[in-house]
């Protein structure tokens, strides 16, 4: 909506988009990084090396962040019972049983 619907994208614009989304991803937003990569799939033939650099590190960042969160979730799920009160305090949902 912020962008004109009939926008035509050239290399510079594509690079700008990749860069902006890449920067945005640092705010704990791996999802945006993934969107960034997915968005450029149709444009893969038109992008230059700079754009590719951003996309590559978007993908890397996505996996890094996701890995971190997944690891944390795993630790939490395994250790929730052991942690006792602390485990309950950081829980949004406390399951039955």
Partner 1 sequence: MNSPNITSRNNNDPIDNNNNNNNNNNSNNNNNNNNIKNHYNVNNISNIESDKIKNSFPDDDESYDGEYENNMTSSSGSIPTDNNNNSSNSNNNNSLFNIFLDEKNKKSEEDEDSDFESEFGKHEYELETPELVDYSESIVNILIPVCITMLICILLIRTITMNEQTVQASPLIHNDINDAEPSDSQTLVFNPIINSIIFLAVIILSTFIMVVLYKFKFMKALYGWLIGTSILLLGVFGGYLFILILIYCNVPLDYITFVVVIWNFSAGGMVCIYYYAPRLFHRAYLISIAVLMALFLTRLPEWTTWAILALVSIYDIFAVLCPGGPLKQLIDTAKKRGEEIPALIYNASVYIGMANLESNDSNQSSPISPTTITNTVSTPTKSQFNQQQNEVSQPSPLPNESSSCSTLNEMLEDDDDHDENQMNKTISSSPSSSDISDTNTDHSIQISPDLTTSISSNNLSTKKPSNIKLGLGDFVFYSVLVGRAALNDMITVCTCFIAVITGLFLTLFLLALLKRALPALPMSIGLGILFYFITKVILTPYLLFIGSTQVFI
Binding site for partner 1 (CB under 8 A): 1-10, 17, 21, 24, 27-32, 35, 38-39, 41-45, 69, 72-73, 76-77, 80, 90-97
Of the candidates 1, 39, 36, the one whose C-alpha atom is nearest the C-alpha of residue 21 is 36
Q: Which one-letter DSSP state was computed for residue 28?
A: T
- When the beta carbons of 43 and 53 are compared against partner 1, the nearer one is 43
The count of other CB atoms within 10 Å of the CB of residue 88 is 11
Closest separation between CB of residue 84 and partner 1, Å?
14
Closest separation between CB of residue 96 and partner 1, Å?
6
- When the beta carbons of 60 and 77 are compared against partner 1, the nearer one is 77
- Beta carbons of 55 and 46 less than 8 angstroms apart: no
Q: Give Cα separations from 18 to 3, 23, 28 (angstroms).
A: 15, 9, 17
- When the beta carbons of 28 and 60 are compared against partner 1, the nearer one is 28
- When the beta carbons of 3 and 49 are compared against partner 1, the nearer one is 3
């Amino acid at each position: 909506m912020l962008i004109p619907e009939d926008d035509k994208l050239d290399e510079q614009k594509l690079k700008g988009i990749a860069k902006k989304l890449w920067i945005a991803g640092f705010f704990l937003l791996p999802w945006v990084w993934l969107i960034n990569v997915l968005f450029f799939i149709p444009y893969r033939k038109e992008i230059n090396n700079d754009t590719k650099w951003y996309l590559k590190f978007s993908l890397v960042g996505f996996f890094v962040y996701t890995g971190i969160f997944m690891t944390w979730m795993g630790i939490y799920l395994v250790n929730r019972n052991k942690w006792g009160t602390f485990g309950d305090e950081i829980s949004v949902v406390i399951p039955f049983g």
